[in-house]
Chains A and B, each alone.
Chain A
């Protein structure tokens, strides 16, 4: 059975159990999305945004929603992982785990809950956000997510409210026998001058074949500020497709940091449309791969109006036969005068067989802008390596110190010490594994 037929049938089988099955607009939306998957299928390497990432293997596995309830082991794992001092929503195999979640002490008027609950308590608010930033036409996985989303995180912050503690969305793929596909839809809506920090933390219990397909839609109203951190550390047989998209109004700030370290294939797409003057997008990313891992960051920044700023820094370290992809595009539209947009992608290859495809792109239609982009691919600096070794630091440790310092520039961009420590540990663990040359 091909993937489209498989998912069409899986959708038919699970539709009635999905959240919102009694909400007409959502039922209709899901069916339309599934029909679109049927018609348009999934992206291939002929699509520009998927040029270096072949999902053929992912599509051969008949991923299905989890049948059994979440394993206690995975719940325990979730309870013990992540940030100590944070609000938290936990999902195991796409299922919300209330008892592992922590939502007490939120400011008044703030909505932080799971999608299924929000459909009951705030149906109109959900409707106003769902599918507004990420349309089903974006790609087959986004449409599939609309159709199959079993739950997700909903964060809605009223005007002027600042949420002090980070909100952690902890997503665990458990060690199921059947390959589980989890589709989560996150909606982050910040009203004028609101601010929040959301950490999406993906992990795996064991090395089961799993598929996480998540979509995060972000709406930032005037002067709103979101810090969004994604830490991806799933097991070595995991497939991961993430679509994070933001729409920014006047003077809003979107900070994003994505650390990708796990999975057989992990693709993270991060986009933002700068729709109001003075909006600022800061995108950072660190990716580390080894064995035959494939890790892709695809970004798109759409400068639609004047006086917006954006900055991107993505850094990768690839060992063994791993393959990294950076596919980043900046579009500066005709009216977006006085845009300042910078993009940089830097890579270190630890072995001869490791590969990086980097494709920084600038498309500029305005004439009064400051834009630059660049990419580098190199090896660890032999001079620096010798310097450290000549002081008694063994080769492997010296390599670790140098690669950590290299990725450190990305990690250091995270303002919160606790979140920085989390991301740093994800990156450092991956670097240690990559330097030991473990083949997965």
Chain B
């Protein structure tokens, strides 16, 4: 489904991704772990199309279609979803208006009819249950005054609404207490499906107790330096990343 080959990307002249390759098949959950400044969030943003990052080399394809030339919205239409590490507050725009605009934009590009207010509300109610979100959140401004947990639930709610092919969750566990973590992880688990791929970027093994990956990668120095099964996360938790540094210098 997703094939990243030899990806190089930089921001402000500084190279962050340095030859990253990764293949994710439909139905798989891949965890990407790594220390600070390894390039984890850069990978997420580059995949979603953040324009500040310059891709200098390499390719990214989703079901054979190159993503790198596409704008962020076009990638969303193709089925890419980024769960933000720091979801943005948007005063004056309600969650409902935001999500309805988004869902209908995506539906339009899939050749599906737009949802009217009633149909949207019905769908939204159903999806909010996945992350135990209060319906009142629909009428609040996007993320404004939301707690850390509410923001992350809101991200997973959006993912459920948009039904992406590929979801990249960027440190969805950061800022969550254990209860919120469980709720969010359960929500994501409910969204696992044979035709959907998930990339879970995280610092800690904790999330992976609930959201068990098929494959675990270590990202270090802008490239994947180790790939293994779910047991790798536990090993990293015990040993840290230093023992892998040597491989990253190569």
Contact = CB atoms under 8 A, between A and B. Distances in A.
Interface stretch (B19-27, B86-94, B178-186): B86-94
B88 A387 contact: yes
Given A397-B101, A397-B105, A387 B90 contact: yes
A392 B109 CA distance: 9
Contacts of A387: 84, 87-88, 90, 142
B90 A386 contact: no
B9 to A, nearest CB: 16
Nearest to B141: A405
B102 interface: yes
A390 B93 contact: no
Given A386-B50, A387-B84, A393 B102 contact: yes
B82 interface: yes
A384 B90 CA distance: 7
A401 B76 contact: no
A384 B82 CA distance: 14
Determine which residue in B71, B91, B97, B162 has the highest number of CB atoms from chain A within 10 A of its CB, and name it. Answer: B91
Interface in A33-75: none
Contacts of A131: none
Determine which residue in B73, B89, B91, B162 has the highest number of CB atoms from chain A within 10 A of its CB, and name it. Answer: B73
A255 interface: no
A28 interface: no
A388 B92 CA distance: 14
Determine which residue in A393, A395, A401 has the highest number of CB atoms from chain B within 10 A of its CB, and name it. Answer: A393
Nearest to B102: A391
Contact of A390 (B76, B89, B92): B76
B158 interface: yes
A409 B82 contact: no
Nearest to A406: B92
A392 B48 CA distance: 11
A383 B158 CA distance: 17
A389 B71 contact: yes
Interface string A177-193: 00000000000000000
A405 to B, nearest CB: 3
B187 interface: no
Nearest to B91: A405
A395 B71 contact: yes
B235 to A, nearest CB: 33
B156 interface: no
Chain A's interface: helix, strand, loop or mixed, by majority? helix
Nearest to A389: B72
Contacts of B72: 386, 389-390
B39 interface: no
A386 to B, nearest CB: 6
A392 B92 contact: no
Determine which residue in B49, B71, B72, B75 has the highest number of CB atoms from chain A within 10 A of its CB, and name it. Answer: B72
Contacts, number: 77
Nearest to B78: A392
A372 B92 CA distance: 23
Determine which residue in A383, A386, A392, A409 has the highest number of CB atoms from chain B within 10 A of its CB, and name it. Answer: A392
Interface in A368-408: 381, 383-384, 386-395, 397-398, 401-402, 404-406, 408
A392 B162 contact: yes
Contact of A405 (B51, B73, B88, B92): B92
Contacts of A395: 71, 73
Nearest to B52: A382
Contacts of B233: none
Interface string B173-210: 00000000000000000000000000000000000000
A255 B93 CA distance: 25
Nearest to A391: B102
B212 interface: no
B92 A409 contact: yes
Contact of A389 (B76, B109, B158): B76
A57 B52 CA distance: 43
A386 B48 CA distance: 9
B105 A392 contact: yes
A281 to B, nearest CB: 24
A387 B89 CA distance: 10
Nearest to B84: A387
A105 to B, nearest CB: 35
B105 A405 contact: no
A391 B51 CA distance: 15
Contacts of A392: 73, 76-77, 102-103, 105-106, 109, 162
A409 B144 CA distance: 15
Contacts of A391: 76, 98-99, 102, 105, 158, 162
A385 to B, nearest CB: 9
Nearest to A411: B92
Given A384-B90, A392-B106, A401 B73 contact: no
Contacts of B71: 389, 394-395
Give me the 3 closest cross-chain CB pairs, A-B, nearest first: A405-B92, A392-B76, A391-B102
Given A392-B106, A405-B91, 11 more contacts: A384-B89, A387-B84, A387-B87, A387-B88, A389-B72, A391-B99, A391-B102, A393-B105, A397-B101, A401-B97, A408-B92
8 contacts: A383-B88, A390-B73, A391-B102, A392-B106, A392-B109, A394-B73, A398-B73, A405-B93
